[in-house]
Structures are given as C-alpha cells and as structure tokens.
C-alpha cells in the first residue's frame, strides 16, 4: 500500500472516530463574570439616618468580592416590573443582616418578589441561588414557612463553634471543606453571632414547610438555653442561610466585638464566599450591555466611613 493511500486511510479513520466520540451535553456552562445582587437594608439606627434610607455594610461587599463576584445594590423603591428586570441581570441574591419587620416592611416586600422569581426560575431549569445571613436567614424562613416563627434565641456578640448535624458533611455547603477545618468548626469559636431572635430546633422540626424545604446543617445553644438553627441549606433549591456572620471574620475589626480572626476563621469565611459565588457562576443571567452593567455596580457609589458611630468600618448608603 502506497504512502498516500495509507495516509488517506488514517485520516478517514480519525474523522470517523471523531464523529463517533460522544459529546457531553450535560456539561454546565460557567459564568466567570458573576454579579450578586444585595438587597439594601433599612436604616434603623438614628445616627445613620442622615446618610440614607437604606444601606449595605462594606464588609458584605468585600466578602462577596473575595469570592470572585461583583455586587449590585438593590434598592427598595422600585416596582415589581423593575425587580423582574433586575432579576434577569444578576446571578444570585444576598439577604444581609440588620433590623426590619420580616412581614410588612419594604425589605420583606421586595424579598418576597425575588423569592418568587427564584422559585420559578429554578423550577424552569434556570439556576439562581439565594443566601441569607443572620436576619437574612430569618427572612428566608418567613418566606418558606409563610409566617414568622422566630422566638427569643439571644446570642449577642459571642463567637461559637457549630454543632454540625449528620447532614452537614454531605451538604453542598460543607462537602468540600478540608477535614481539619470541619473539625475546627466544631471545636473553635469561628462563627460570630449578633442576634436576639431565631428559629428553635423544635420549631424547625415541627414545621413541615421548613423541615421539608431545608436540610438542617448545624445548631447552637442561645444564652437562654434555647437550641436554635444556625445553618440551613435548601434540599431542592440553591438557597442557603446562616444565623451567624461569615463576613465579619475577614472584614470587620471593631475591638469591642467578638469577631473571629483566627486562621481557621478567615479560611471559613473565604471558602463560604467562594462557595456561594461558585453557585452564582452557574447562573447565565446577564446585563444587556457592558454600559448597563457598569452603571449598576456598587463601584458607582462611595462608601461612608462609619467606624466612629457604628461597628462597621464603612457602609454604602442609598
């Protein structure tokens, strides 16, 4: 057989093999320029009211950015149609801590709109994650249960280890954690708590809506002896909640507060930020133009130095 003939046969074989190679249609697309929307929180402290009606502490912005995302602040004054349009642009939603009525406030009203949109999107195969921290997690339980089930669970200005449940190790949130960090999480005070209310474990277990929707990943004991839910993860939906504050570990430094700053505490904060942003990478929502995207980001606002009258170093006001 001549050289050219052999070459043709090899080439033809390669073509056939190439055509016969299976593709991987289930491979997920990845968005490496995610934008996480952060619902602005109502200003409740009198000393902050001169600066704006709503705000976002800079620590949350830094925390989300440390995971590899940009931040879009979401005001509480828009129409439902405007929020529906914003939803199509962002790749995840973050409910921060603070103080607001979880059923009647504008904060609750807007959160309910986005919660509905996220449920509908995920049901349709349009992946969209939500995270709630402290009051943000409490808000998620109100949205899921359809009622406010919070009770007194005081854990104000205290750092605690987590009592992990059997579901935690296999959870999406913790499954990729190094074993050393998981062990430290149960033994060292790595989680900063600043709350007076929460969901008790008994209430969670007795609520079919909550226990059917969420997996309970960790618990803690409050100052009054109540055992409360401290970490939640949606069973079907990519919704996550922590009663504690992972953002303070690396981005708040008020010496009056029990803020965990150990190597393990910072590692915990970093991994959780990366985890949620990676969830956001699975969302393919995007802005219509680069100009629209740029004008919507937190960078167009200037943070205000607030350390002289609040526990935050800086905050954005709206």
DSSP E strands: which ranges in the chain?
Answer: 35-39, 41-42, 54-57, 70-74, 93-95, 130-133, 151-160, 163-164, 191-198, 214-221, 227-234, 239-242, 304-305, 314-317
Residues 6+ apart with CB under 8 A from 302: 316
Catalytic one among 195, 245, 264, 285? Answer: 245
90: left (phi over 0), alpha (psi -120 to 50) or beta: beta
Q: What is the largest CA-CA distance in the chain?
A: 91
Residue 134 a catalytic site member: yes
**Separation of alpha carbons 211 and 138, rounded Å:** 14
Within its chain, how far is the Cα of 311 from the centroid?
22
**Separation of alpha carbons 35 and 91, rounded Å:** 5
Q: Give the helix/strand (H/E) hosting 8.
A: helix 3-20
Catalytic one among 134, 195, 264, 285? Answer: 134
Catalytic residues: 134, 245
């Amino acid at each position: 057989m001549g050289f050219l003939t052999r070459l043709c046969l090899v080439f033809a074989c390669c073509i056939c093999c190439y055509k016969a190679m299976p593709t991987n249609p289930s491979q997920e697309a990845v968005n490496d320029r995610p934008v996480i929307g952060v619902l602005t929180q109502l200003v409740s402290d009198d000393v902050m009211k001169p600066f704006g009606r709503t705000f976002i502490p800079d620590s949350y912005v830094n925390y989300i950015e440390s995971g590899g995302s940009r931040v879009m602040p979401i005001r509480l004054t828009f129409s439902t149609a405007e929020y529906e349009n914003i939803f199509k642009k962002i790749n995840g939603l973050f409910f921060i801590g603070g103080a607001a009525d979880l059923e009647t406030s504008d904060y609750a009203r807007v959160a309910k709109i986005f919660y509905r949109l996220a449920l509908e999107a995920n049901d349709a195969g349009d992946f969209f994650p939500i995270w709630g921290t402290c009051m943000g997690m409490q808000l998620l339980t109100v949205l899921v249960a359809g009622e406010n089930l919070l009770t007194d669970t005081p854990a104000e200005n205290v750092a605690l280890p987590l009592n992990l449940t059997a579901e935690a190790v296999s959870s999406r949130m913790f499954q990729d954690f190094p074993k050393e960090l998981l062990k430290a999480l149960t033994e060292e005070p790595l989680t900063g708590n600043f709350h007076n209310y929460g969901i008790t474990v008994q209430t969670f277990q007795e609520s079919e809506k909550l226990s059917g929707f969420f997996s309970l990943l960790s618990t803690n004991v409050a100052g009054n002896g109540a055992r409360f839910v401290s970490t939640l993860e949606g069973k079907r939906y990519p919704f996550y909640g922590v009663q504690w504050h992972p953002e303070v570990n690396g981005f708040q430094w008020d010496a009056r507060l029990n803020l965990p700053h150990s190597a393990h505490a910072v590692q915990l904060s970093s991994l959780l930020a990366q985890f949620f942003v990676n969830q956001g990478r699975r969302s393919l929502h995007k802005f219509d133009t680069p100009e629209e995207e740029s004008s919507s980001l937190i960078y167009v606002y200037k943070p205000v130095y607030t350390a002289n009258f609040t526990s935050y170093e800086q905050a954005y006001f709206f």
